[in-house]
A and B are shown apart, each in its own frame.
Chain A
Amino acid sequence: MIRTEEMMLNVGPQHPSTHGVFRLVIKVDGETIVEATPVIGYLHRGTEKLAEDLQYTQIIPYTDRMDYISAMTNNYVLCHAVETMMGAELPDRAEYLRVLAMELGRVASHLVWFGTYLLDIGAVSPFLYAFREREMIINLLNELSGARLTFNYMRVGGVKWDAPDGWLEKVREFVPYMREQLKGYHDLVTGNEIFLNRVKGIGKYTKEEAIQYSLSGANLRCTGVEWDLRKHETYSVYDRFDFNVITREGGDAWSRYQCRMAEIEESLKIIEQAVEQIPDDGKYMGKVPRIIKAPKGEAFVRIESPRGEIGCYIASEGKKEPYRLKFRRPSFYNLQILPKLLKGENMANLITILGGVDIVLGEVDG
């Protein structure tokens, strides 16, 4: 008789496919995973604790560093929470600039996901093609906000800067270009039989499981739940745009891939419309007091980040600083289902599944 033994294997904290310092302790029987335990917290910086001693404006740069792939949505959720509490009204142009920045960020974020996902699956080139387009978006956002990743662009009551001269024109030109490139991606990847074999039917879960595990974003929509906070709990000026909520029925890695790729197109639609609709009055900051104080009380708002539902809870004592600030970090919630998905899969599928969840460790650890 051959005696076999289960083997403990540490995937991470330093591993090319964990996209940061994430550790997965797996028990493998050969290459089949018997048990998987995620270990997180390596990137925990205590943002929420730090924020208790910071003014609202000072917290904004910290939010940049949570989900560093799409910092604009983080900026927004904090500002939105404070604005909701204050009842501040923003000039339209500020809202449009925010939407533009967020949607560009969403496209960039999905591009990073696309690139790194294919890198996980073993294809190197899509990563570089995706980063070519992402670089353009980053340059656009750099022109707008003065930084490439940690934008610190939004302020309570508006945005830091108006769009620079010619910026909107550049964004307008970017949309058709991006659409053209997307076709190329589909040529390169979407039809690729090897890729299809790698993702189809992998990491499957049902609608009920997705809801039960509090998944959000494309992880939820890939099971057929039509739920996008931009549409259904509309915020900012998203109700003025015509776009679809992308859903797929499969609930597997392939559906998630399709969802995200289609979401890029929807974001482009929004960008296109926003550039057309943006009012030309140059007013980008609402009337808010110089010292921002959220009224006493508490609020929880949630918006749609590229990774899912990002929320912000503020308990305020009516001071300059929040009494308690809590972010609902989508990656943190989305990662919970991982042990369940990994059971019985092999090493290669581990990477496909983990990559498909689209986590950002800065956000998981907060």
Chain B
Amino acid sequence: MLGLAKGLKYTLKNLTKEKMTYQYPEEPIPMPDRFRGIQKFYPEKCIVCNQCANICPTDCIELTGKKHPDPEKKGKIIDTYDINFEICILCDLCTEVCPTEAIVMTNNFELAEYSRDELFKNLEWLDENDQNVRKENKA
């Protein structure tokens, strides 16, 4: 009986303790700076080196480059850049290998959509996703 009484005391004590839950949609959850959310892409920085697509463990990045419009300059510039968030696991490897930090992580993580097709994000969308970029990557 003593054990039961102890238990009752413990739960009663917790009745007045501070609540641990977040009012989630109203109050945004604070995420640490390193949090791996949805990627932000800087098309102007990209040198089309393909490293992100190669390192991606789930092959969710597809990109194509085109010749630099300025004939003076060498190299390529990015043409299309798609991430398929149906299979992206937000592992952060693409941002880790990127030599120019053209792709970086943000703290945004809300990806719920009504259709799977909407999880297919293209270059423009990724470019506009410029909120809550990691501090270390802030341009």
Asked whether the complex places CB atoms of A and B closer than 8 A, the reply is yes
| Chain A contacts to B: CB under 8 angstroms | 54-55, 57-62, 125, 129, 132, 135, 139, 142-147, 150, 152, 160-161, 164, 184, 187-196
Given contacts A147-B92, A188-B10, A189-B7, 10 further A-B contacts (CB under 8 A): A61-B91, A139-B32, A160-B92, A184-B10, A187-B7, A187-B9, A188-B11, A191-B3, A191-B7, A192-B4
Minimum CB–CB distance for B37 against chain A, Å: 9
Chain B residues within 8 Å of chain A by Cβ, number:
27
Pair B35/A142 contact, Cβ less than 8 Å = yes
Minimum CB–CB distance for A31 against chain B, Å: 26
Across-interface contacts of B10 in A (CB, < 8 A): 184, 187-188
Partner of B36, one of A57, A62, A146, A196: A146
Q: How far apart sit A129 and B1, CA to CA, in the bound complex (Å)?
A: 22
Across-interface contacts of B93 in A (CB, < 8 A): 57-58, 61, 152
| Chain B contacts to A: CB under 8 angstroms | 1-4, 6-7, 9-11, 14, 20, 31-36, 55-57, 89-93, 96, 105
Across-interface contacts of A61 in B (CB, < 8 A): 57, 89, 91, 93
The 4 closest A-B pairs by CB, nearest first: A191-B3, A146-B34, A61-B91, A58-B57
- CB-CB nearest in chain A for B96: A160
Minimum CB–CB distance for A178 against chain B, Å: 15
Minimum CB–CB distance for B2 against chain A, Å: 7
Q: How far apart sit A150 and B1, CA to CA, in the bound complex (Å)?
A: 43
Q: How far apart sit A177 and B55, CA to CA, in the bound complex (Å)?
A: 40
Partner of B35, one of A60, A147, A152, A189: A147
Across-interface contacts of A147 in B (CB, < 8 A): 35-36, 90, 92
Pair B90/A193 contact, Cβ less than 8 Å = no
Count of A-B contacts judged by CB separation below 8 Å: 75
Across-interface contacts of B1 in A (CB, < 8 A): 193
Q: How far apart sit A55 and B91, CA to CA, in the bound complex (Å)?
A: 14
Q: How far apart sit A145 and B33, CA to CA, in the bound complex (Å)?
A: 10
A-B contact pairs, 25 of them (CB 8 A): A54-B57, A55-B55, A58-B55, A58-B56, A58-B57, A59-B57, A61-B57, A61-B89, A125-B11, A129-B14, A135-B20, A142-B34, A143-B32, A143-B34, A146-B92, A147-B90, A147-B92, A152-B93, A187-B6, A188-B6, A192-B4, A192-B6, A193-B3, A193-B4, A196-B3
- CB-CB nearest in chain B for A140: B32
Q: How far apart sit A62 and B91, CA to CA, in the bound complex (Å)?
A: 9
Pair A150/B91 contact, Cβ less than 8 Å = yes
Interface majority SS (helix, strand, loop, mixed), chain A: helix
Pair A152/B91 contact, Cβ less than 8 Å = yes
**Among the interface residues B4, B32, B89, which one has the most CB atoms of the partner chain A within 10 A?**
B32
Across-interface contacts of A187 in B (CB, < 8 A): 6-7, 9-10
A132-B20, A188-B6, A191-B6 known; A145 vs B34 contact (CB < 8 Å): yes
Pair B89/A150 contact, Cβ less than 8 Å = yes
Minimum CB–CB distance for B110 against chain A, Å: 15
Q: How far apart sit A146 and B47, CA to CA, in the bound complex (Å)?
A: 26
Minimum CB–CB distance for A180 against chain B, Å: 12
- CB-CB nearest in chain B for A189: B7
Q: How far apart sit A252 and B33, CA to CA, in the bound complex (Å)?
A: 45
Pair A164/B34 contact, Cβ less than 8 Å = yes
Pair A146/B55 contact, Cβ less than 8 Å = no
Q: How far apart sit A365 and B90, CA to CA, in the bound complex (Å)?
A: 23
Across-interface contacts of B32 in A (CB, < 8 A): 139, 142-143, 146, 164
Q: How far apart sit A16 and B2, CA to CA, in the bound complex (Å)?
A: 31
- CB-CB nearest in chain B for A59: B57
Minimum CB–CB distance for B133 against chain A, Å: 13
Across-interface contacts of A193 in B (CB, < 8 A): 1, 3-4
Minimum CB–CB distance for A363 against chain B, Å: 18
Across-interface contacts of A194 in B (CB, < 8 A): 4
- CB-CB nearest in chain B for A50: B57
Q: How far apart sit A204 and B88, CA to CA, in the bound complex (Å)?
A: 44
- CB-CB nearest in chain A for B20: A132
Minimum CB–CB distance for B23 against chain A, Å: 15
Minimum CB–CB distance for B125 against chain A, Å: 22
